[in-house]
């Protein structure tokens, strides 16, 4: 895969470059090592019979490559209790897939709401002093068009973060848009 665009929110890219250059290099190595394959035959009306890039295959590769470099999951478990409500919910949690030192990384091939929820998780761990910066790796619009419907694209995330200005997320984040090395037209 290849990086086609990088966005820095509240100095996220700069923090990564200055304080964690070894992690930035590892992230770039992982992205360039992942191979996107058109292995999913579409049954969707508008893409019937076409072979699309499979998010499950790409996610599996990201997990193996980050784990091999010592990245681990971070998870905080807690009990939910809200004022003036009798319900108590034990074992609720916040979790991020890849963490090394104080750098959080999420790879998101899901719906847009999950991209935005990743920002909330970055904010949570930043507020808990367990993170200095978050990195969100997401498909570009070009890659999104060659995947199943429902997969979102990073340009929408960057557009929304820009419009929220410095209000949310109030944590440094680097957003990386990726595409397949495959240059054929869809």
pLDDT band at 185 (very low <50, low <70, confident <90, very high): very low
Number of H helices, E strands in the chain: 6, 8
Identify the CA nearest to 91 among candidates 76, 104, 101: 76
Residue 152 near residue 118, CB atoms below 8 Å? no
Q: Is the pLDDT confidence value at 86 over 80? A: yes
What predicted TM-score, i.e. pTM, was given to this entire model? 0.90
**What is the torsional sign of CA 87, 93, 59, 175?**
positive
- Domains assigned to the chain: 2-73+99-179 (3.40.91.20)
Cβ neighbours of residue 7 closer than 8 Å, sequence gap 6 or more: 13, 154, 158, 161, 174, 175, 177
Q: Is the pLDDT confidence value at 45 over 80? A: no
pLDDT at 14: 98
pLDDT at 54: 82
- Greater confidence (149 vs 142) lies with 142
Percent of the chain residues past pLDDT 70, beyond the cut = 92
**Mean pLDDT (whole number) for 39-63:** 77
């Amino acid at each position: 895969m290849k990086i086609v665009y990088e966005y820095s929110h509240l100095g996220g890219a700069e923090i990564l470059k200055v304080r964690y250059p070894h992690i930035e290099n590892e992230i770039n190595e992982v992205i360039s090592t992942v191979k996107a394959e058109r292995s999913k035959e579409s049954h969707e009306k508008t893409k019937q019979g076409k072979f699309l890039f499979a998010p499950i295959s790409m996610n599996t590769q990201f997990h193996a490559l980050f784990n091999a470099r010592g990245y681990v999951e971070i998870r905080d478990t807690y009990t939910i209790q809200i004022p003036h409500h009798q319900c108590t919910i034990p074992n609720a949690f916040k979790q991020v897939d890849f963490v090394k030192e104080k750098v959080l990384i999420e790879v998101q091939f899901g719906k847009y709401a999950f991209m935005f929820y990743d920002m909330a998780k970055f904010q949570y761990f930043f507020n808990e002093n367990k993170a200095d910066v978050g990195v969100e790796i997401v498909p570009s619009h070009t890659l999104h068009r060659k995947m199943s419907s429902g997969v979102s694209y990073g340009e929408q995330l960057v557009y929304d973060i820009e419009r929220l200005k410095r209000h949310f997320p109030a944590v440094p984040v680097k957003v990386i848009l990726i595409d397949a090395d495959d240059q054929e037209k869809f």
